[in-house]
Amino acid sequence: MKERNLALRLACLIATATGAPIASAQLLQPQPPPDSAAPVSAAAEGIYAGTRPSLLQVRTLVEAAGRQSSIGSGFLVGADGLAITNYHVVSQYALEPKTYRLEFARPDGTQGALTLLAIDVANDLAVVRVEGADLPHLEFDPTALAGEIPRGERVYAMGNPLDIGFTIVEGTYNGLVERSYNERVHFTGAINPGMSGGPAVTAAGKVAGINVAKRLDGELVSFLVPASKAAALLERARSGAPLNPAQTREEIDHQLLAWQEGFYRKLDEQGFRATKFGPYQAPESAASWFNCWARTNAEQTPKPRAQMDSSSCSSQSSLFVAEDIESGRAELTHAYVRSSDLNAFQFAAFLSQYYASASMSRSWSRKRLTQPECREEFVAPADAAAAPVLRAVWCARAYRDFAGLYDVSLTTVTQDRDREALVSRLAMQGVSYDNALALGQRFLGAIAWTR
């Protein structure tokens, strides 16, 4: 399958109770000559030995059963027991503190309870506390905090993959990901489930980033949260009051609302660019953090009865909220459809079926989201010579846990011709209703005849 047919599929590197088989094929691979491997092995060995005492395994346990539901990693950043991990590692506890509890395990076998102090949902970070004093800990790399680590520098990611023990993975630091709204560092290295929240350190053993995710459709394409984001959250945790478990959902709601305000303000500032589809022009975002792909069935065999050229533009901005819900993404899709050998009645039936399938997904987390409510209208332009009449369906479903947030879709189909049409869709995740309405109105106003 070619890249253009694949969405950006990221795996948060938390190991859940479902587990995963461990491949043994690597045991059959020939080993590199000892002389070429020795320098790297010696460097990694020394870094691991110096860093290992500061590592943590972060466990989320079901309170009633006392068994772990998921595992991730973390690392100490203060002698007073403060530690960094990912938000998604502790998200079950953050959302349901009466159902789950947090524990840690250190490489020396020490175990105990963890206290959640602060979260940063947008950057997928959390600060927790381990009880103790004079604990070994890591420091942030000053060059990383300034965003000045050169591309190509060797970096070492650590964590406890698949609950098999603490490990070190050598890889390459490739700077910030281009075309991404949320800042992430591209790390070329094999990060695996269970390593989420672990540190990626320089050769000096200082933190350059925090393990967070990997691409499922590539090899060794992994991502780190920049060290500067973790340092900022740590400062907030030190200077503010710790999270009250009963108020954590309110804090998540507050952060998501604030994030989407900034996102849609910047989206508005970037504006739309007009893209031609036959006699129509349709809006696509001009923001650099949208990726667009096109498809056509023109060469399909046998020849399709309806020819279709389509484009899909998605923002690279997804936020992990819970295992069964993500937020923060916007998507614009368009399909220019015309009949090959369908009569007007057949084409209308085909178009209705395609239009219905393009509307809001019928699969969603009923635990997290309400039943969608939809409204259909015909939208007539002020100037018929400038834009076509549209049939439009507006659907919205509310977040059950977070007041003021919705998933919203706006689907339109042109009504002016009986053998060709433009089907368009705007989808928004985790958006306030006012922001959804504002963007929806701009979207409708940008569908026009080609000038």
Q: Tens digits of per-residue pLDDT, 20-52?
A: 333 333 333 444 444 433 345 678 999 999 999
pLDDT tens digits along 224-243: 999 999 999 999 999 988 89
Q: Domain total for the chain?
A: 2
Q: Is residue 271 domain-shared with residue 234, that is, in the same domain?
A: no
Q: 84 has which bridge partners?
A: 75, 127
Q: Any idea what the CATH number is for the domain that residue 261 is in?
A: 3.40.1000
In DSSP notation, 8-23 reads --EEE--EETT--PPP
Region 82-105: mean pLDDT is 97
Q: Is residue 211 domain-shared with residue 100, that is, in the same domain?
A: yes
- Dihedrals phi, psi of 27, to nearest 5 degrees: -65, -20
User: Higher confidence at residue 74 or residue 8?
Assistant: 74
Give yes or no for residue 252 having a pLDDT over 60. yes
Amino acid at 17: A
Q: Is residue 167 domain-shared with residue 280, that is, in the same domain?
A: no
pLDDT score, position 195: 97
Q: Which helix (H) or strand (E) holds 270?
A: helix 248-270
- DSSP annotation of 140: B
Q: Which of 308, 397, 388, 315 is nearest to 355 (CA)?
A: 308
Q: Is residue 210 domain-shared with residue 266, that is, in the same domain?
A: no
pLDDT band at 155 (very low <50, low <70, confident <90, very high): very high
Q: Is residue 149 domain-shared with residue 291, that is, in the same domain?
A: no
Region 313-321: mean pLDDT is 97
pLDDT tens digits along 335-346: 999 999 999 999
pLDDT score, position 15: 66
Q: Is residue 349 domain-shared with residue 418, that is, in the same domain?
A: yes
- Provide the percentage of residues in the chain whose pLDDT is more than 90: 82
Q: Which helix (H) or strand (E) holds 311?
A: strand 306-315
Q: Is residue 127 domain-shared with residue 59, that is, in the same domain?
A: yes
Q: Give a yes or no: residue 248 inside a domain.
A: no
Residue ending a domain, among 193, 214, 243, is 243
Q: Is residue 76 domain-shared with residue 138, that is, in the same domain?
A: yes
Q: Is residue 290 domain-shared with residue 222, that is, in the same domain?
A: no
pLDDT band at 2 (very low <50, low <70, confident <90, very high): very low
pLDDT score, position 12: 61
Residue ending a domain, among 205, 221, 243, is 243
Cα–Cα distances (Å) from 393 to 115, 124, 390, in that order, read 46, 34, 10
pTM of the model: 0.88
Domain that holds residue 37: 3-243
Is the separation of the CB atoms in 282 and 422 below 8 Å? yes
